[in-house]
């Protein structure tokens, strides 16, 4: 069995929040145990990470003004203002503010 630990990054996505809300409702109604909800969230973390790694290979570039950066518990967080994204098809998207979170994707023991 894989002992890889997955980050909980995608729980704050819209689908992750919807899942968490649904699980909270089920727990409060007594329909599932909190331990089962935690197992479901753990499977969600693993599934989203693996699917994105396997199925997404698009590239983009961006420019902006670095406002803040942090490195804590092996996780980098960058807050960037006035960001312009340029997609592979030359489409551009602009945003006032973007947060980028970067985590180590290597398994323990990998170079």
Other C-beta atoms lying within 10 Å of the C-beta of residue 23: 19
Phi then psi dihedrals of residue 24, to 5 deg: -60, -40
| pLDDT at residue 2, as a whole number | 52
pLDDT, the chain, mean:
89
Q: Of the ranges 85-89, 93-97, 105-109, which one carries the lowest mean pLDDT score?
A: 105-109
Instruction: Please determine, for residue 37, whether its predicted confidence score (pLDDT) is greater than 70.
Output: yes
Set out the domains of the chain in order of their start, with CATH numbers.
9-55 (1.10.287.190), 60-103 (2.30.18.10)
Q: Largest alpha-carbon pair distance within the chain?
A: 51
Q: What's this model's pTM, rounded to 2 decimal places?
A: 0.69
| pLDDT at residue 110, as a whole number | 61
| pLDDT at residue 75, as a whole number | 87
């Amino acid at each position: 069995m894989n002992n890889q630990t997955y980050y909980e990054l995608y729980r704050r996505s819209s689908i992750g929040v919807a899942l968490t809300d649904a699980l909270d409702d089920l727990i409060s109604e007594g329909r599932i145990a909190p331990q089962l909800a935690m197992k479901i969230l753990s499977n969600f973390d693993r599934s989203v990470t693996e699917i994105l790694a396997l199925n997404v290979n698009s590239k983009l570039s961006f420019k902006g003004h670095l406002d803040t950066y942090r490195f804590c518990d092996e996780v980098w967080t960058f807050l960037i203002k006035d960001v312009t994204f340029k997609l592979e098809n030359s489409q551009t998207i602009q945003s006032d503010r973007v947060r980028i979170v970067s985590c180590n994707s290597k398994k323990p023991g990998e170079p």
